[in-house]
Amino acid sequence: MVSGAGRQPVGAHYGTRDWLSQRVTAVVMGLYTALLLVIVLWHGGMDYATWKALFSGGAFRVASFLFMVSLLVHAWVGVRNILMDYAKPTSVRLVLQTAVVCALVAYAGWTVQVLWGAS
């Protein structure tokens, strides 16, 4: 948030962080998608044993976690833009944005449980 006497109305790059995080997370997700696609095609499909073995590797778990965190950050930037465009009353926008943040944080917890949970 930027406010006060020092506020620069134009050309101040207030959105640069959102813009950049959207791009960086997109690249991370793109690379992971390519990696997963190559692995599945390499095995000519997937069975439980191969799938389980893949996700028991620490490096692949970390890569999957990076993908999911990128997805959640990316989704926040995008959904926030959508809500800023269409949910005009501030009260409605606040409620919807709060709901989205809650969902994304819950998804992050679910991700940790799926990747490192006792299973």
Partner 1 sequence: MAADRPVARPRPIYLNLFAIRQPVPAIISIMHRASGALLFLAGIPLVLWFMQRTLASPEGFAAAFGPFATPFGKLVLLALAWAYIHHFVAGVRHLMLDLHLGIDLPSARRSAAVVLVLSVLLTLIVAVRLW
Smallest distance, partner 1 to C-beta of residue 101, A: 12
Strand, coil or helix: what is 91?
helix
How far the first Cα of the chain sits from its last, in Å, is 42
Looking at the Cβ atoms of 39 and 100, the one nearer to partner 1 is 100
Q: 27: burial class by Cβ within 10 Å (0-12, 13-18, 19+)? A: exposed
The contact set with partner 1 (CB under 8 A) reads 23, 26-27, 30, 33, 47-48, 51-52, 55, 71-72, 75, 78-79, 82, 100, 107, 110-111, 113-115, 119
Chain-centre distance of CA 8, in angstroms?
30
CA distances from 47 to 52, 58, 63, 100, 111 (A): 9, 20, 20, 34, 21
